[in-house]
Amino acid sequence: MSQWLQAAAQDASLMDDFYALCGIGGRLSGSGQDDAAMDWALQRLRAVAPDVQRLDVPYDGWRCRQASLQWLDSQGRATALPCKPLLRSASTGPEGLAVPVLDLGQGRTEDFARAGDRARGKLVLVRHEYPFTPHHVHRRRKYDMAVQAGAAGFLIANPRGGGGVLSGSSGRPRNGAGIPAAYVDEAGARQLAQAGGQARLLIQGEEIADARAGVAVLDIPGGRTSRIVISAHLDGHDLGRSALDNATGVAVALAAARILAPRVGNATPGLRVCLFCAEEWALSGSARYLADLPASERARLKLDINLDTVAGDDTLTALISDFPELALYVARSAQAAGVAVGSWLPLMPNSDHANFARHGIPALRLVAGFDRPESRVNRILSAEDTPDIVREPELRRALAVTCAMGALALDLGDAQLDALARR
């Protein structure tokens, strides 16, 4: 067994880091828990190497001050239903929004096309989809279609019975067009879909001026100016403990940094670890970090290995962001780790890797449970995203694969790294 593979199997701090991060809470950006997580992460990174810094980047902050949802039957009787406003939802008036509900099923392009003008002025109801499938339509895309259709409001239901409401972002920018939007649970969606009634949605949100998101950066110089990046996001939601999404990725990133640091030398690229906040806010933290880098600095970044939800199932897949040359790189790494890893070529803009890819930097997201909607990964974004559903062998497998990817990248010459960017 190679030295790094043995270290991945034996790293004593992997699970301690995972539980410590979950212990801070859900880590919603702007809650204070994200800052506590950032302070903790900086301390853990400084134990690996001395060149660690915290950057703070602006993002469109927002908080919910009040939210409620009622189903009004044909006699006007009101039944309170659970709801969770989408981050950066538009506000209703002080009395709320009382309009008929239009159930559009999954809420895909064809569903909105069939509805046509019937969506205008309605409270459109759609279903959340398991986010890691080949044909997934993201929540923000459904929200945008509702806005474009002239809907008065947007409701998205967790389709899993007993799973409660979910949490997520609308992606609406500051001063951007938008409508009131919230998650509902499966039982609430069934009630709302009944004919002859309407719903009253009340959301009062507040813009947070000068909101800042932390970015922790560990830089280990090699003998060349190029850098291999391992990234993960620290922030989460205020439902559950954001264990799968993404204490798993952070714990593996920290362990991989410990294991790979001694491999960085005079003949290798440097290694950089980036831990972002405001990922759950439409990937804002990494977007601003990369945009603020000088072009010459971005050009030094040759590969991003992004770790996000790397446990919850015994399968791993690399989402390789329309960089076909990464498929062989993933296969070689998987063989070295002794772990099966699939590849999915099309860009899935569902984590920080997407921002690296948009700058032309070869980027992948390692994720568990791809196309496995019945796996424990389906607990992300919910109150059930807690540490008890994560199994240590899954984290160990993800760590072995990450170390294999990092070790292989550190052994490549700059011309070979540049070749990974071919499309």
Q: What is the pLDDT, as a whole number, of residue 10? A: 86
- pLDDT, one tens digit per residue, over 22-39 is 999 999 999 999 999 999
pLDDT bin (cut points 50, 70, 90) of residue 9 is: confident
Annotate 241-300 with three-state secondary structure. Answer: CCHHHHHHHHHHHHHHHHHHHHHCCCCCCEEEEEEECCCCCCCHHHHHHHHHCCHHHHHC
Residue 357 has pLDDT above 60, yes or no: yes
In terms of Cβ atoms closer than 10 Å to its own Cβ (0-12, 13-18, 19+), residue 193 is middle
Residue 1 has pLDDT above 60, yes or no: no
Greatest Cα pair distance in the chain = 77
Please report, for the chain, the start and end positions of each structural domain, with discontinuous segments joined by +.
3-59+211-419, 61-208
- pLDDT, one tens digit per residue, over 271-302 is 999 999 999 999 999 999 999 999 999 999 99
**Rounded mean pLDDT, 245-256:** 98
The CATH classification number of 61-208 equals 3.50.30.30
CA dihedral 154, 285, 48, 319 (to 10 degrees): 60
Q: What is the pLDDT, as a whole number, of residue 256? A: 97
Beta strands in 74-233 (DSSP E): 78-81, 83-85, 97-103, 123-127, 153-157, 181-184, 198-208, 212-220, 227-233
pLDDT bin (cut points 50, 70, 90) of residue 195 is: low
Question: Who's near 295: CB < 8 A, 6+ residues apart?
Answer: none
Residue 47 has pLDDT above 80, yes or no: yes
Give Cα separations from 155 to 13, 82, 170, 184 (angstroms). Answer: 41, 12, 11, 7
Three-class DSSP category at 116: helix
Three-class DSSP category at 156: strand
* 100 within 8 A of 196, measured Cβ to Cβ: no
More confident residue, 177 or 356: 356
Q: Describe the crossing of helices 14-24 and 248-260 by its angle, rounded to 10 degrees.
A: 140
Separation CA 355–CA 365 (nearest Å):
11
**Rounded mean pLDDT, 375-396:** 97
pLDDT bin (cut points 50, 70, 90) of residue 196 is: low
Sign of CA dihedral 305, 308, 311, 315: negative
* 18 within 8 A of 396, measured Cβ to Cβ: no
Q: CB atoms < 10 A from the CB of 224, how many?
A: 16
Report residue 294: phi and psi, to 5°: -60, 150
The CATH classification number of 3-59+211-419 equals 3.40.630.10
In terms of Cβ atoms closer than 10 Å to its own Cβ (0-12, 13-18, 19+), residue 263 is middle
**Tokens 């890893």 — which residue?**
341
- pLDDT, one tens digit per residue, over 133-175 is 999 999 999 999 999 999 999 999 999 999 999 999 999 988 8
- pLDDT, one tens digit per residue, over 391-405 is 999 999 999 999 999
pTM for the whole thing? 0.96
Separation CA 121–CA 150 (nearest Å):
6
